Amino acid sequence: MSSNLQALNDWVDQVAAHTRAARVHWCDGSGAENKRLIAEMLESGDLERLNPETHPDCYLHRSDPADVARVEHLTFVCSAREEDAGPNNNWMAPAEAHALMKGLFAGCMEGRTMYVVPYCMGPIDSPLSRCGVEITDSPYVVVNMRLMTRMGSKALERIERDGHFVKGLHSTGDLDPDRRYIVHFPEELSIQSFGSGYGGNALLGKKCHALRIASYQARTEGWLAEHMLIVGIENPEGEVRYIAGAFPSACGKTNLAMLIPPEAYRESGWKVWTVGDDICWLHPGEDGRLWAINPEAGFFGVAPGTSKKTNPNALAMLDRDTIFTNVAVTEDNRPWWEGLDQGKPAKDWRGRPFDPKHGPAAHPNSRFTVSIDRCPSYSDQAESPQGVPIDAIIFGGRRARLAPLVMEARDWNHGVLLGAGMASETTAAATGQVGVVRRDPMAMKPFCGYHFGDYWKHWLEVGGKLKTPPKIFQVNWFRRDEDGGFIWPGFGDNMRVLEWILARCRGEIEARETPVGLLPNGGDINLEGLDEQPAMDELLAVDAGEWREEVDAVAAHLSTFGKRVPEALDAELDRVRQALT
């Protein structure tokens, strides 16, 4: 098999010759191909079959213990000019990067099969989708890409029609951490990854293409590629409105994407629909609104902490047709991780008999890969070619004191400032240093493929062209009282905040103006049915002194990006500063 696109055939031939691949296999994405690859990995020991009675067609992969997470210090953006990569990226000169990678890839597939994986990010027939081809020597990557993207023959047909694609070249190499690099060439729309078999480093459709390369594509083509969930909220009248949301890690993003409303809301007819949990491509529509697609077709979720209490919808997906990576197993070979409500670990993520002195049973970054249509709250709008219209964009964070439960930006420019200043405080689990504020603009710090100053300018330009831009909000589920306890119940009760947000989008409710943004009036957030009434005055308090310090901290953060920071953001900061004094 080959393609009728000569540029693709030439590239495949060139890579096969350089890597000295023993065989070349063009992936068609079929069920038969998938079964064959799984059978081969079961035989080689790359996969283990989990309990077929409790978890049919579920498998466990254990990665090399030194290859268990993204490696941001070995991830490079290789734009022609260093200043275009920005201080938010590691930069390497393209010629130097090409020479380095050429040396690493030379002969690396000797004795191995080279897989050619055509894939489409987004619905196959959507004008908003973009395609790529990943060449890899990892069958584990192939079976994961089949779950995470629209992969195979139909994607190849679209690539042949379009005549262009993002090139992704990957090899596990010898899994040597000292010979591990993930390099991106945005101007060439290409990615090269060597020396890792781990998810984000190896599934090149995910962060590498869908964010780092796509953010550059989006800037040149006039749209936005964002690290955001997409969720639909259906009211009792049957009307569905869509929200996109960006949250740094450990801030409840996946839980919000699959939220189950409180019982009183469910009984009155409210529903929540999951369109995507991680990545969102936003395109200005002809109607002057922003329309969004989820470029992915599956979830690559963190397992630890997923439970009936935190995310029952996620847990319900994982009893069939799932690939688990670096979880523990029970005595009867079921997957297990910290936070699960039942069972206990017999073997840890390395396959050793579980002993607490070796640390957690499941690796803290252990994962599950599963198709999105397994989700009980899955929305068929995830396959809509035109996407879904976005009413609200939410920026989240984890702040013990400063940020109120919910706050609306005055306008688009103010909303971009809220996103640019996004921050979370570290938890004990993260560093041992609690409460250190880390800035993560739009939750894109590790994923923006170019200079953050240019990125914010692009956000301002996109918003300026919209006749009806989404309203922008900031939320903080993590405000604490003087005893250190969370004031807001969180989880499903976050629906109460979403109801207020959508009422604001429809113009049905007034808001209270403060120097830092628009806040709910007393009684406007529905607390009916809560066992305990949270201290709303405390949750919605704005301390002018603390916020003056925050404005100075955001200004200092923006200044690290130099003269490329748009003047409009500095003007917004000055406006907030003056309002506070």
Q: What pLDDT score was predicted for residue 427?
A: 63
Is residue 179 scored above 50 in pLDDT?
yes
- The residue-averaged pLDDT of 410-432 equals 83
| Confidence label for 1 from pLDDT (cuts 50, 70 and 90) | low
- In this prediction, residue 434 carries a pLDDT of 65
pLDDT at 431: 40
Taking residues 85-91, what's their average pLDDT? 98
Between the alpha carbon of residue 93 and those of residues 55, 90, 99, the distances in Å are 47, 10, 10
Residue 302 pLDDT grade (very low, low, confident, very high; cuts 50, 70, 90): very high
Considering 58, 78, 251, 505, which one is annotated as catalytic?
251
Distance of alpha carbon 570 from alpha carbon 581, whole angstroms: 17
385 Ramachandran zone, left/alpha/beta (phi>0; psi -120 to 50): alpha
Query: Residues 235, 269: contact at Cβ < 8 Å?
Result: yes
Residue 325 or 434, more confident: 325
Can 208 be counted among the known catalytic residues?
no
Q: Average pLDDT over the chain, rounded to whole?
A: 96
Cα gap 372→370, rounded to integer Å: 6
Is the distance from CB of 448 to CB of 215 less than 8 angstroms? Answer: yes
Instruction: Tell the burial category of 489 from Cβ atoms under 10 Å away from its Cβ (0-12, 13-18, 19+).
Output: middle
- Rounded mean pLDDT, 159-172: 97
DSSP states of 200-234 as a string? Answer: HHH-TIIIIIIIIIHHHHHHHHT-EEES-EEEEEE
Lowest-confidence segment of 433-442, 467-476, 543-552 by average pLDDT:
433-442
Largest CA distance in the chain: 70
Question: 108: closest CA among 179, 188, 6?
Answer: 179
Residue 27: strand, helix, or coil: coil
Rounded mean pLDDT, 131-154: 98
Query: How sure is the predictor about 251, in pLDDT bands with cuts at 50, 70 and 90?
Result: confident
Q: How confident is the model at residue 70 (pLDDT cuts 50, 70, 90)?
A: confident
Closest-CA residue to 460 (of 442, 478, 437, 438) = 442
Q: How confident is the model at residue 435 (pLDDT cuts 50, 70, 90)?
A: confident
What are the sequence ranges of the domains in the chain? 6-46+73-221, 226-297+380-580
| pLDDT surpasses 50 at 429 | no
Q: pLDDT of 465-513, one tens digit each?
A: 999 999 999 999 999 999 999 999 999 999 999 999 999 999 999 999 9
Kindly provide the residue ranges of all beta strands, DSSP E only, lying in 372-446, ordered along the sequence. Answer: 388-396, 406-408, 423-425, 437-439
Using DSSP's 3-state secondary structure scheme, residue 184 falls into strand
Handedness of CA 412, 413, 414, 420 (dihedral sign): positive
> Do the beta carbons of residue 471 and residue 390 sit within 8 Å?
no
Q: What is the pLDDT of residue 426?
A: 75
Q: Is the pLDDT of residue 107 over 70?
A: yes
- Rounded to 5 degrees, what angle do the CA atoms 572, 575, 578 make? 150
What mean pLDDT do residues 32-40 have?
98
* Strand-pair category, 190-194 with 166-171: parallel
Could you give the percent of the chain with pLDDT greater than 90?
A: 94
> 433 falls in which pLDDT band (50, 70, 90)?
low
Whether 273 contacts 379, CB under 8 Å: yes
pLDDT higher than 90, residue 49: yes
Q: What is the mean pLDDT of residues 146-174?
A: 98
The string of pLDDT tens digits covering residues 549-570 is 999 999 999 999 999 999 999 9
| pTM passes above 0.85 | yes
Q: Which two tokens stand for residue 475?
A: 């939320």
**Mean pLDDT of all residues in 247-253:** 87
Say whether pLDDT at 432 is over 60. no
Amino acid identity of residue 359, one-letter, is G
Looking at residue 556, its pLDDT comes to: 98
- Which helix or strand (DSSP H or E) is residue 39 part of? helix 31-44
pLDDT at 430: 39
Higher pLDDT, 283 or 431: 283
Q: Which of 149, 143, 153, 152 is nearest to 129 (CA)?
A: 149
- Cα 569 to Cα 581: distance, rounded to the nearest angstrom: 19
CATH of domain 226-297+380-580: 3.90.228.20
Vertex 42: Cα angle to 39 and 48 (nearest 5): 135
Q: Quote the tokens at residue 245.
A: 């949301």
Q: Which of the following CATH numbers is that of domain 6-46+73-221: 3.40.449.10, 3.10.290.10, 3.30.70.1140, 3.90.79.10? A: 3.40.449.10
The pLDDT score that the predictor gives to residue 391 is 98
The alpha-carbon radius of gyration of the chain (Å, integer) is 24
Q: pLDDT grade, residue 520 (50/70/90)?
A: very high
Position 341 confidence tier, pLDDT thresholds 50, 70, 90: confident
- Given CA atoms 91, 94, 95, 96 in this order, what sign does their dihedral have? positive
Give the whole-angstrom CA distance, residue 141 versus residue 131: 17
Phi, psi for 501 (deg, rounded to 5)? -60, -45
